[in-house]
Amino acid sequence: MIQVGIIGANGYTGGELLRLLNQHSQVEVTVATSRKLAGEPIYKVHPHLQNLDLKFTSVKPEDMEADLVFTATPHGASMNIVPPMVEKGIKVIDLSGDYRFDDISVYEKWYGLKHDHPLDAVYGLPEMYREKIKKAHLVANPGCFPTGAILACLPLVDEDLTDKIIIDAKTGVSGAGVKPTETNMYTNVADNVIPYNVTSHRHGPEIQEKLSKFSDVSVSFTPHLVPVIRGILSTVHTFPAEDVTSSYVKELYDNYYKGETFINVLDVGESPRLSSVRGSNYCHIGIFQQDENGRLVIGSSIDNMVKGASGQAIHNMNIMYGFEETESLEYLGLHP
Amino acid sequence: MIQVGIIGANGYTGGELLRLLNQHSQVEVTVATSRKLAGEPIYKVHPHLQNLDLKFTSVKPEDMEADLVFTATPHGASMNIVPPMVEKGIKVIDLSGDYRFDDISVYEKWYGLKHDHPLDAVYGLPEMYREKIKKAHLVANPGCFPTGAILACLPLVDEDLTDKIIIDAKTGVSGAGVKPTETNMYTNVADNVIPYNVTSHRHGPEIQEKLSKFSDVSVSFTPHLVPVIRGILSTVHTFPAEDVTSSYVKELYDNYYKGETFINVLDVGESPRLSSVRGSNYCHIGIFQQDENGRLVIGSSIDNMVKGASGQAIHNMNIMYGFEETESLEYLGLHP
Amino acid sequence: MIQVGIIGANGYTGGELLRLLNQHSQVEVTVATSRKLAGEPIYKVHPHLQNLDLKFTSVKPEDMEADLVFTATPHGASMNIVPPMVEKGIKVIDLSGDYRFDDISVYEKWYGLKHDHPLDAVYGLPEMYREKIKKAHLVANPGCFPTGAILACLPLVDEDLTDKIIIDAKTGVSGAGVKPTETNMYTNVADNVIPYNVTSHRHGPEIQEKLSKFSDVSVSFTPHLVPVIRGILSTVHTFPAEDVTSSYVKELYDNYYKGETFINVLDVGESPRLSSVRGSNYCHIGIFQQDENGRLVIGSSIDNMVKGASGQAIHNMNIMYGFEETESLEYLGLHP
Amino acid sequence: MIQVGIIGANGYTGGELLRLLNQHSQVEVTVATSRKLAGEPIYKVHPHLQNLDLKFTSVKPEDMEADLVFTATPHGASMNIVPPMVEKGIKVIDLSGDYRFDDISVYEKWYGLKHDHPLDAVYGLPEMYREKIKKAHLVANPGCFPTGAILACLPLVDEDLTDKIIIDAKTGVSGAGVKPTETNMYTNVADNVIPYNVTSHRHGPEIQEKLSKFSDVSVSFTPHLVPVIRGILSTVHTFPAEDVTSSYVKELYDNYYKGETFINVLDVGESPRLSSVRGSNYCHIGIFQQDENGRLVIGSSIDNMVKGASGQAIHNMNIMYGFEETESLEYLGLHP
């Protein structure tokens, strides 16, 4: 049994950590912080967590007592909160973008921030870096779009089948966070589709950096907001140098993800869909025949709050501590 | 470890049983029937259940081998399927309306069917009949609307505070089942609200019969279809014979449901909402101050597929076998 | 051709006035105010109004030049803006609650404001007060809930058939306005139903005051927020002193609303639905048979932004100026 | 005043024709056919059209009396219905795919049908072929996806700036028609995104054929079903041979569509969205800066039922008869 803290427990990813860890047999959540809500019971902002007997507290990072801490804090805040805890020997899984980039200059350019406290961190995509995660003290949990996009592209890229990838992603609104804005208002989102940061979203460079470790590939990325609460559907368009059959691609993906509990490579031609992974830590991958112009399409679906954030963070924790990888992540997608 | 069968596993309630029982440490699902889909893997119709290594089969009731069977079959079908299994000593939890009524003539009137095979059954609302359920061989799982409505009204009625109740319910579309119809088409449901069977829904008499065991009360019921996948919000309007304070009502409900894991009586004035119980077996109950005309309002929210159907059925099974009542039902609501 | 101003043109009801008046052959919108957005083209906040060649301006009420002004301003603001314009001889249609109540003390109690500038105003429900509206200088446009609820109840009440009415209303999110809040966030509204101000919504007293002019009746009102952009479905539950047949009620309503273009009394048993009136100025009314307890149910559907606000305001203007009542309101509901 | 017939008036595009033509000052709809519903009033299937005093009839094509007929009939049916009417001198606007292709073999391959009755037809995209439409006797109304996609690409292609285009489209559910299927069930669509016919949708070849008239370009097309009632958002990804500035592209589009009432080229960087064109005949086009890989993105939004079907058909009729092009199409988008 380990003791776990959550910094920034009032947001959506904090709420997901609390919801999921409630099932974990090896974990006790002892601290859930929120400066604004210190003293309030959890259920005041998370009405679905009526049964959790826990209150928000306010703890300075340097005073934190825990074996592991999840920092569900905004970009720019984590870089000040994480280092004091790492120094104290607390393991940290950071859900912000602050420790995701190897190349700090890319981070600084795209996040518009100066990074004062770089640290060695492992990029926490288990299907990519499981062995490194086992030994990590600081894990940078991947962005939601990069999670779905990389999982869809990785076997192709690692096999060096293509040098140019276009990712057209569709995301649910929970990715915009818990704070009300014009972007996440019901009347602006419902019955609507809106492309945004069309050629300038900062998850593009994150995908670019991670895939570039595997082969020389250029990544173009465009997200769309769709009237969905949870989920990201990534549609990858690419033109392999040589034509490939769908059965070849299917076998490539099956082999690549063999043994990965949370990856389901679907039958050829079967579409990934958000409802199949809703509320779960699974990623569904769909493979389709090339079209007449040699275009190959791969699709993936994840729940942005679980596999794209809090579930993957727990998966990383399970790996770090040698727990069953599926602990508290067993639930299957909520369909319908 | 018991062996469990599901008859009619291709529908939504069948899918929910499979999804939830996947987590159960004491249960093995050995048979999942579908006449049309015999031989097909489960995931062909339940794409979220990719990980279940099980195929649909077709088994006659009299040939069924199992300790307990869930019959997720239509009204009118269950009455022919259930008796042969009960005779063989198999315990049965029936999710149809066929065994819910004590007064068969009421059933026959409202379902427009002649009932050929009446049997002794226990009405499977654990908060009402836990002791009887423990010893039951046949449990009639309550209707979705009656579950939410009865839980909202029961303390009031048992305390004999009112003699007339109006229930205005709002339900998600999954209650209409897995078969495409004009009623459950996206274009007819989305951005819409539609009252239906306004003064003639057959769940009205079910609520009436069950509440009448506790005191003399008349029940008027109207359902509405709202653009929601899962969930029922029941708004109960009633005029107590004498004025009551909201703190009195709160205390009444708190005491009535003390020890009931799946019932959360909210703070006075806090609204129950569907998202708080989405995907879970919980029922949230909201209590509000009387208005100037002496009207008292109680609200309740459930997930119609879980607490209103398959989750409650599993809860009943857990009670029948002395398992932990929360086995495979631990998950909290999926919000957002 | 008259010249029309809109004060508060940046909100939803202001946008609707602009959208609808664009079709009006007798009206030129010459002023559309927004203090914050003065100088900006309309389409910056109303992206659907790309074609309007008009900019926001900032004009003090006492400097306003127009034949008629719509004040789409918040409760409490209108009472300061309206009087100077009325004094100048400008006709005003106020969309706030400030001039709706005959009894100022009721207004002050429910709005929590002191009313400094009471004026004679006509309650702008054309089906109720057409003759008075013709001669009005100041029209108080009805609240959205009162519009749908009163139209559903009025024939019953005017015929003195009942003395107690319960209105259970379901509203779309646009009623919450253009400003982002936790209430109107997509993640809080979608796939959800939430009762609010359950026994204390200020539209209850407005309905009560208006219906009380026709007979002695007590009104209890509860609204719910549903995942819908536009529309209000009002379900009226009542127990007539004597039983009535549905054909009697149908005839009563048909006669009452004879000649009213915007009222459609549906065939008995046919449900009103939001999609049938979406984007239009129509009100659909559904009549249902009494249930076994003598409960009679009447339902109505309106678009809260059109019949419940800006469309009705234009209807009032048409009546005041003797224009065709349907001018710029001809469009039928947008279904699907 | 001309007399107009609608064949297949019970479907969604038929309903839209009826709804929109209700506003037309020069048109009387004299015949609205539906074999199944002959004798029934229109509002029985189109509950929003309560005010239309018209009944469905059943008329053989050879007995049709009208100046112009809209055939809102399925692919494969139109080819038998259209020729007898054209022979009688009736002008026809066909909303099916039967007369869209110049190359019949492409049609036959992608629709899996043999075409028995080829006729000369004009492809009814006014922004492309206005002059030909003026003189046409048979207009083939474009597919919904081709309408949005072609309008987004045409200036680029006509200017020969690129030789490869990827179109990633997101469509509302109304495009799937009025018949209930698993595809258009609420529970399968809501809170979901589903790619379909990923590399094999027959609107791909339609776009390919039409754009190929303007330059040598390869078109790859993938549609997605999103939880939206109406609307298509087309995201065009392309890599111009030489880099282009966004202001250059903006000017190119502004010039290309100068004088086109129904095309709004948005400010650079402004996203097209479905809500801005909902219920209207407008097409919004968004232009975005190239990304670091030289990818240029153009987006467009239309209402698939109006600009993508019935509205465009009426626009074509207006052009054929020299009516005001905007007659019965004046309404702006319904936002929110």
pLDDT class of B68 with cuts at 50, 70, 90: very high
Instruction: Report residue C251: phi and psi, to 5°.
Output: -65, -40
Q: To the nearest 5 percent, what fractions of chain C are helix, strand and coil?
A: 30, 20, 45
pLDDT higher than 90, residue D31 = yes
pLDDT class of D138 with cuts at 50, 70, 90: very high
Q: Which of residues 111-150 of A touch D (CB under 8 A)?
A: none
Query: Is omega for the bond preceding A336 within 30 degrees of 0, making it cis?
Result: yes
- Residues of D with active-site annotation: 144
To the nearest whole number, what is the mean pLDDT of chain D? 97
Q: Say if C197 is an interface residue toward chain B (CB within 8 Å).
A: no
Work out the average pLDDT over C322-329. 97
pLDDT higher than 90, residue A120 = yes
pLDDT in tens, D169-207: 999 999 999 999 999 999 999 999 999 999 999 999 999
pLDDT in tens, C285-323: 999 999 999 999 999 999 999 999 999 999 999 999 999
Q: To the nearest 5 percent, what fractions of chain B are helix, strand and coil?
A: 30, 20, 45
Residues of chain A with pLDDT > 70: what percent?
Answer: 100
When scoring C46, C186, C196 by the number of chain A Cβ atoms within 10 A, the one with the most, hence best to mutate, is C186
What distance lies between CA D46 and its chain's CA centroid?
21
Work out the average pLDDT over C326-331. 95
Residue of C nearest to D229 (CA): C336
Q: Which of residues 279-298 of B touch C (CB under 8 A)?
A: 286, 288-291, 293, 295, 297
Q: Please name the member of B164, B170, B219 whose beta carbon is closest to the beta carbon of C224.
A: B170
CB B246 within 8 A of CB C198: no
pLDDT class of A176 with cuts at 50, 70, 90: very high
Tokens 């501590």: give the residue. Answer: A321
What is the phi-psi region of residue A101: left when phi exceeds 0, alpha when psi lies from -120 to 50, beta otherwise? Answer: beta
To the nearest whole number, what is the mean pLDDT of chain C? 97
d(CA B175, CA C195): 21
Work out the average pLDDT over A306-331. 97
Q: Show the tokens assigned to B34.
A: 């579908």
Fold of B145-304: Dihydrodipicolinate Reductase; domain 2 (3.30.360)
Q: What is the pLDDT of residue D116?
A: 87
Distance from CA of B77 to the nearest CA of D (A): 24
Q: What is the pLDDT of residue A5?
A: 98
Work out the average pLDDT over B151-167. 98
Q: What is the pLDDT of residue B122?
A: 98
pLDDT class of C267 with cuts at 50, 70, 90: very high
pLDDT in tens, A89-100: 999 999 999 999
Chains that touch D (3 or more CB pairs under 8 A): A, B, C
CATH architecture of A2-119: 3-Layer(aba) Sandwich (3.40)
Q: What is the pLDDT of residue C52?
A: 93
Q: What is the pLDDT of residue C34?
A: 96
pLDDT in tens, A192-230: 999 999 999 999 999 999 999 999 999 999 999 999 999
Q: Say if A190 is an interface residue toward chain B (CB within 8 Å).
A: yes
pLDDT higher than 90, residue C116 = no
Which residues on chain D are in Cβ contact (under 8 Å) with B182?
A: 180
**Helices in chain A by DSSP H: which ranges?**
12-21, 78-87, 104-111, 126-134, 144-158, 186-189, 203-212, 246-256, 311-321
Of D123, D155, D135, D126, nearest to D326 (Cα)? D126
Question: Annotated catalytic residue: which of C90, C144, C157, C161?
Answer: C144
Of B335, B264, B258, B274, nearest to B306 (Cα)? B274
CB A271 within 8 A of CB B47: no
Chains that touch B (3 or more CB pairs under 8 A): A, C, D
Q: Which amino acid is at B57?
A: T
Q: Please name the member of D48, D174, D264 whose beta carbon is closest to the beta carbon of C276.
A: D48
pLDDT in tens, D311-335: 999 999 999 999 999 999 999 999 9
To the nearest whole number, what is the mean pLDDT of chain A? 97
Q: Which amino acid is at C332?
A: L
Fold of C2-142+307-321: Rossmann fold (3.40.50)
Q: What is the pLDDT of residue A140?
A: 98
Q: Please name the member of D52, D277, D334 whose beta carbon is closest to the beta carbon of C279.
A: D334
CB A61 within 8 A of CB A34: no
pLDDT in tens, D117-135: 999 999 999 999 999 999 9
The CATH code that applies to domain D2-141+307-321 is 3.40.50.720
Query: Is omega for the bond preceding C336 within 30 degrees of 0, making it cis?
Result: yes
Q: What is the pLDDT of residue D137?
A: 98
pLDDT in tens, C184-229: 999 999 999 999 999 999 999 999 999 999 999 999 999 999 999 9
Q: Say if D213 is an interface residue toward chain C (CB within 8 Å).
A: no
Q: Say if A181 is an interface residue toward chain C (CB within 8 Å).
A: yes
Q: What is the pLDDT of residue A85?
A: 98
3-state secondary structure C215-231: CCCEEEEEEEECCCCCC
Q: Residue A184 and residue C189: Cβ atoms within 8 Å? A: no
Of D96, D127, D86, D97, nearest to D13 (Cα)? D96
Residue D118, burial from CB neighbour count under 10 angstroms (0-12, 13-18, 19+): middle
pLDDT in tens, A227-273: 999 999 999 999 999 999 999 999 999 999 999 999 999 999 999 99
Domain boundaries of chain D, sorted by first residue: 2-141+307-321, 145-304
Residues of chain B with pLDDT > 70: what percent?
Answer: 100
Q: Say if D55 is an interface residue toward chain A (CB within 8 Å).
A: no
pTM of the model: 0.97
Of A171, A182, A196, nearest to D269 (Cα)? A196
Work out the average pLDDT over A307-322. 98
Annotated catalytic residue B283:
no
pLDDT class of A116 with cuts at 50, 70, 90: confident
Of B171, B197, B195, B173, nearest to B111 (Cα)? B197
Work out the average pLDDT over B143-157. 98
Q: What is the pLDDT of residue C216?
A: 97
Q: Which residues contact B15 (CB under 8 A, 6 or more apart)?
A: A335, B9, B45, B46, B48, B49
pLDDT class of B116 with cuts at 50, 70, 90: confident
Which residues on chain D are in Cβ contact (under 8 Å) with A200?
A: 289, 291
β-bridge partners, A221: A167
Which residues on chain D are in Cβ contact (under 8 Å) with A164?
A: 293
The ipTM, to two decimals, is 0.96
Residue of B nearest to D46 (CA): B188
Q: Residue D271 and residue A196: Cβ atoms within 8 Å? A: yes
d(CA A304, CA D268): 30
d(CA D208, CA B110): 57
Q: Say if D336 is an interface residue toward chain B (CB within 8 Å).
A: no
d(CA A34, CA A18): 13
Q: What is the pLDDT of residue B56?
A: 98
Q: Show the tokens assigned to C319.
A: 């009546």
Q: Please name the member of C230, C331, C335 whose beta carbon is closest to the beta carbon of D331.
A: C331
